[in-house]
C-alpha cells in the first residue's frame, strides 16, 4: 500500500534538551511539499557535529530536535516539482545543498549554494518555514535539513544525492558528511603533489579521511598531529607515517614540524575545530608554496590570529567546506570510487548498533572510541 501523500508514523530519536540521552519516540512525518523528498532511512551514522549540537555548548540551542545528517536511504515519495528523483531511488541525504541555479552552483569553483548552504540555526523547511515532524501536534525541529535519526525524514531535493543502487548503503552512508569532507579537503583543495609532505591535525574520522586523500595523492610523508596517542596505531592504516603529540614537547607544535621537515610541510589539513590547531596548521607550512586547509568548525567567538608576514612569505590558508564537493553533481562519482575500489570506506566503520541503542553511539564518540558508528534503522 502506498504511503505517498499521507502522514507516516514512525520511530525517531528525539533530543529533548541539551546533553540528555536521546529518546526513541513515535513521530508523525508529514508528506513532502514542493521541491521536497521523503526518504526511508536505512542506515545513519553519528558524526561529531551531531554531538556538538546535542551538547549545544558553543552554539545556539534548539530543542526538541531530531539530529542526524550522515545517512543512506530510499526515496519513499516526492513532492510537487521534483523530477530527477522517484520512489525507490537509492540516495544520500546531505547537510548542504545544490540548487543548480544560483551563482555558486553555476560556478565550477564553489559548492556553497546560496539557497541551501548549511544553516545550523534553522529548524524548519525553507519552503514554508514549518517542520515536517510532530508529536501529538507539537512540532519537532529539523537539523541541517536532514534529521536522519528518524525512520522517515523529509529533505529538500537539492540536498539529496542519487547514487548507484548497487552501492551498499551501510558503507557509503559515511560519504554524506565526514569522509567526503576530509578526503575532498585534501584532494580537491590542498591538492598535494606526488612526493610532497602533508600534516594532518586531528586524527578522528575526518582527519583520517584527509590522510586517506594524502595517501591516494602519493604524499611521501603524512604527519599526524593529535593529543590522543591511542589514535596513532589506527592512523597507520590510513597512510600516516609519523606522529606528533603536542603534549610531548615544550615548544609550539609548529616549530616541531618545521624542524622535522627542514622548513615546513608542503600541505596541512586541520580537522579539529580548535583555533590553536588552525593557527599551528597554517604556521607550520613551508614558505613560498605551503598551503594550509582549515576544515574544523570553530566556536562562534573564536578569532584566527597570525602575523601578516606569514602571508607575505607566500604561505596560503584556505577553508574547505564539505571537501569542495557539490552534493548532487559530485557525490555520486565519489560513491563510484568506492565501488571501483579506488577509495576505502570499510576501515572507517568501527562499530554498528541497532537504532534502539543509538545512545551507545554517543557514548562511544564521547569516549573517543572508534571512528564511525553506523546505526541500523530497522533494528
pLDDT for the residue 369:
84
Total domains in the chain come to: 2
Q: Annotated active-site positions, please?
A: 47-49, 69-70, 99, 102, 105, 113, 117, 177, 372
- For the beta sheet containing 221-225, the strands, ordered from the edge strand earlier in sequence to the opposite edge, are 242-244, 221-225, 197-201, 267-270, 291-294, 316-319
354 located within any domain = yes
Q: Is the domain of 14 the same as that of 152? A: yes
330 located within any domain = no
pLDDT for the residue 58:
59
Weakly modelled stretches of the chain, pLDDT under 70: 58-59
Backbone region of residue 169 per phi and psi (left: phi > 0; alpha: psi in -120 to 50; beta: other values): alpha
pTM: 0.93
Residue span of the structural domain in which 229 resides: 182-321
2 located within any domain = no
pLDDT for the residue 2:
85
Q: Is the domain of 189 the same as that of 171? A: no
pLDDT for the residue 59:
67
Q: Is the domain of 131 the same as that of 219? A: no
Amino acid at each position: 500500500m502506498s504511503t505517498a501523500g499521507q502522514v507516516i508514523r514512525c520511530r525517531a530519536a528525539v533530543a529533548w534538551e541539551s546533553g540528555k540521552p536521546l529518546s526513541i519516540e513515535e513521530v508523525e512525518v508529514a508528506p513532502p511539499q514542493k521541491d521536497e523528498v521523503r526518504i526511508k532511512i536505512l542506515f545513519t551514522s553519528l558524526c561529531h557535529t551531531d554531538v556538538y549540537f546535542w551538547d549545544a555548548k558553543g552554539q545556539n540551542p534548539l530543542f526538541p530536535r531530531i539530529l542526524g545528517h550522515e545517512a543512506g536511504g530510499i526515496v519513499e515519495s516526492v513532492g510537487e516539482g521534483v523530477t530527477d528523483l522517484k520512489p525507490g531511488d537509492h540516495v544520500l541525504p546531505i547537510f548542504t545543498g545544490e540548487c543548480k541555479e544560483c551563482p555558486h552552483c553555476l560556478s565550477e569553483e564553489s559548492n556553497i549554494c546560496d539557497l541551501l548552504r548549511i544553516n545550523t540555526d534553522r529548524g524548519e523547511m525553507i519552503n514554508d518555514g514549518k517542520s515536517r515532524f510532530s508529536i501529538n501536534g507539537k512540532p519537532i525541529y529539523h537539523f541541517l535539513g536532514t534529521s536522519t535519526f528518524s525512520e522517515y525524514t523529509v529533505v529538500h531535493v537539492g540536498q539529496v544525492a542519487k547514487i548507484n543502487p548497487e552501492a551498499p548503503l551501510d558503507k557509503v552512508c559515511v560519504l554524506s558528511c565526514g569522509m567526503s569532507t576530509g578526503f575532498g579537503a585534501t584532494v580537491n583543495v590542498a591538492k598535494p603533489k606526488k612526493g610532497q609532505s602533508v600534516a594532518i591535525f586531528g586524527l578522528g574520522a575526518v582527519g583520517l579521511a584527509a590522510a586517506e586523500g594524502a595517501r591516494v595523492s602519493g604524499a611521501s610523508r603524512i604527519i599526524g598531529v593529535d593529543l590522543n596517542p591511542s589514535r596513532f596505531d589506527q592512523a597507520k592504516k590510513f597512510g600516516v607515517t609519523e606522529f606528533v603529540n603536542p603534549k610531548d614537547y615544550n615548544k609550539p607544535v609548529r616549530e616541531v614540524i618545521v624542524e622535522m621537515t627542514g622548513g615546513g610541510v608542503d600541505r596541512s589539513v586541520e580537522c579539529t575545530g580548535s583555533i590553536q590547531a588552525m593557527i599551528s596548521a597554517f604556521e607550520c607550512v613551508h614558505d613560498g608554496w605551503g598551503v594550509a586547509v582549515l576544515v574544523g568548525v570553530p566556536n562562534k567567538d573564536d578569532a584566527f590570529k597570525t602575523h601578516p608576514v606569514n602571508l607575505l612569505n607566500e604561505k596560503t590558508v584556505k577553508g574547505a567546506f564539505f571537501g569542495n564537493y557539490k552534493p548532487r553533481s559530485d557525490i555520486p562519482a565519489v560513491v563510484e570510487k568506492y565501488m571501483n575500489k579506488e577509495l576505502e570506506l570499510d576501515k572507517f566503520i568501527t562499530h554498528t548498533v541497532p537504532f534502539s541503542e543509538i545512545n551507545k553511539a554517543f557514548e562511544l564518540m564521547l569516549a573517543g572510541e572508534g571512528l564511525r558508528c553506523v546505526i541500523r534503522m530497522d533494528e
